Amino acid sequence: MSDTTDALAAMPPVTGTLLERMGIEVLELSADRTVGAMPVAGNTQPYGLLHGGASAVLAETLASYAAQVHAGAGRAAVGIEINATHHRSARSGVVTGTATALHLGSSLASYEVVVEDGDGRRVCTARVTCMLIDARR
């Protein structure tokens, strides 16, 4: 099994979650780099453009997954800060997000997440910080 397969198997199921509703699929998963995709269709604002909030959801999802891998068993990664700059719109297809670790500490993990359209053009750049805490039982 690959590291991504093992890491995804350790994550809780997405059935009934926002990830399922938005069609987010995690393609690669590690503490250093996590990649995922999301369809534009169904995640637009009324004018037919990818909703900026959808890009933020994709960014926080990927960073949180990566931070959870970094946190390890018995700990939880919880998002405490996100900011996003929207560079261009997307009207169709799939957007892909890549979360790259900026800081992997014992209590905080920060990521830059770049969301691109199907042509590789940057749609959004986000920074997400997660606090790493002991998991609640």
Which domains are delineated in the chain?
Answer: 3-134 (3.10.129.10)
For 113-130, the pLDDT digits (tens) are 999 999 999 999 999 999
pLDDT at 137: 66
Quick one: CA dihedral 36, 42, 45, 48, positive or negative? positive
Q: What is the C-alpha to C-alpha distance for residues 41 and 79, in angstroms, rounded to an integer? A: 26
pLDDT at 1: 43
- 3-state SS record for 30-57: CCCEEEEEEECCCCECCCCCECHHHHHH
Q: What is the C-alpha to C-alpha distance for residues 129 and 110, in angstroms, rounded to an integer? A: 4
Per-residue confidence band for 2, with pLDDT thresholds at 50, 70 and 90: low
Q: Provide the 8-state DSSP code for 72.
A: -
Which two tokens mark 84?
Answer: 């996003």
User: Do residues 25 and 4 make contact, with C-beta atoms less than 8 angstroms apart?
Assistant: no
What mean pLDDT do residues 9-24 have?
91
| Number of helices (H), then strands (E), in the chain | 3, 6
Whether 60 is a known active-site residue: answer yes
- Of the residues 25, 60, 81, 116, which is catalytic? 60
pTM: 0.94
Q: What is the C-alpha to C-alpha distance for residues 108 and 105, in angstroms, rounded to an integer? A: 5
**What are phi and psi for residue 21, nearest 5 degrees?**
-60, -35
User: Do residues 31 and 101 make contact, with C-beta atoms less than 8 angstroms apart?
Assistant: yes
pLDDT at 37: 98
